Amino acid sequence: MTEPVEGLAPQPPSRRKLLLITGGGFLAAAAIAVLFVLPAEMHVDPTGFGRLTGLARLAGPKTETVRTAPSPRGGAAPVATPARYYPTPFRSDVIEIPLGSSETDNLHSELEYKVRMKAGDSLVYSWTVTGVTNPEEFYSDFHSETPARGQTPAKVMEYRQSTGLTSNGALTAPIEGVHGWYLQNQAVGAVVVHLKLSGFYELVPPGEYGNLGGIQPKAAKG
């Protein structure tokens, strides 16, 4: 034995035992990862053990993040077909979304509001927030998503995550699904988001996916 190093076992195990511990630990780790951790955390299930035991359900539906080309700053985004025609009826809506105080009503200070669109459908939108003056205190996340269906993974497309009290723009839905905003009030007082929408889309009935906050349109012209 050489002189002991501080921080190491004063009586280290024998060579044989050490090989057993290291090899056994390595193999046990591989088995735990493949049988339990990967199915439950990542939906990776090479042995089928995750599906058999229901562990794979813990990983939830598979989500795919779909990349979108960001529109160039200041200029209009390139459009493949400038003129398009829609079977979906045209509509316009004015929607008011109240959000509670981030301090006294945290539960109601955030929600998701989205509308249903088929791939290729377009809308234009404009929203402003009232009740807050500091643009740093209002956060929004503009995105599209398709819920998972059976073995098909959910798809999520992210457009813009930012703070600010107003946003104007347009969207041509790249995928069928729900499209809209996660809105989060970070101010002390309650606020209202005034959203105007026009185009080819359908409102999500209150309480259904995309409008779990139960928001009703203020004025609808079908």
Partner 1 sequence: MTRRMERRLAPWLAAAIAILLTAVPGLALAHGIGGKDAAFVASSHGAQIIPFLYLGAKHMVTGYDHLLFILGVIFFLYRLSHVALYVTMFSLGHSITLLTGVLTGVQVNPYLIDAIIGLSVAYKAFDNLGGFQTLLGVQPDTKLAVLVFGLFHGFGLATKLQTLHPSKDGLVANMISFNVGVELGQLIALTVMLGVILWWRKSSSFARHAVLANALILTAGFVLMDYQLAGFFTHRAA
Residues making contact with partner 1 (CB under 8 A): 2, 5-15, 17-19, 21-22, 24-26, 28-30, 32-34, 37-38, 41-42, 44, 64, 136, 139, 161-163, 184, 186
Nearer to partner 1, 96 or 110 (CB): 110
Residues 135-148 as b/e (b if ≥16 CB within 10 A, e otherwise) read eebbebebbbbbee
Nearer to partner 1, 125 or 138 (CB): 138
Least separation in angstroms between residue 138's CB and partner 1 is 9
Least separation in angstroms between residue 20's CB and partner 1 is 9
DSSP state of 105: -
How far, in whole angstroms, is CA 122 from its chain's centroid? 21
Least separation in angstroms between residue 161's CB and partner 1 is 6
Nearer to partner 1, 64 or 103 (CB): 64
167: three-class secondary structure by DSSP = strand
First to last CA, the chain: 87
Least separation in angstroms between residue 214's CB and partner 1 is 22
Least separation in angstroms between residue 218's CB and partner 1 is 27
Nearer to partner 1, 136 or 208 (CB): 136
Nearer to partner 1, 183 or 204 (CB): 183
- Angle, alpha carbons 121-221-146 (nearest 5°): 30
Q: Strand order of the sheet with strand 110-117? A: 63-65, 154-163, 138-146, 177-185, 110-117, 202-203
Kindly give the residue spans of alpha helices, DSSP state H, lying in 57-209.
Answer: none
What are 184's strand-pairing partners? Answer: 110, 139
Least separation in angstroms between residue 25's CB and partner 1 is 4
Nearer to partner 1, 30 or 219 (CB): 30
CA–CA gap between residue 88 and residue 181 (Å, rounded): 22
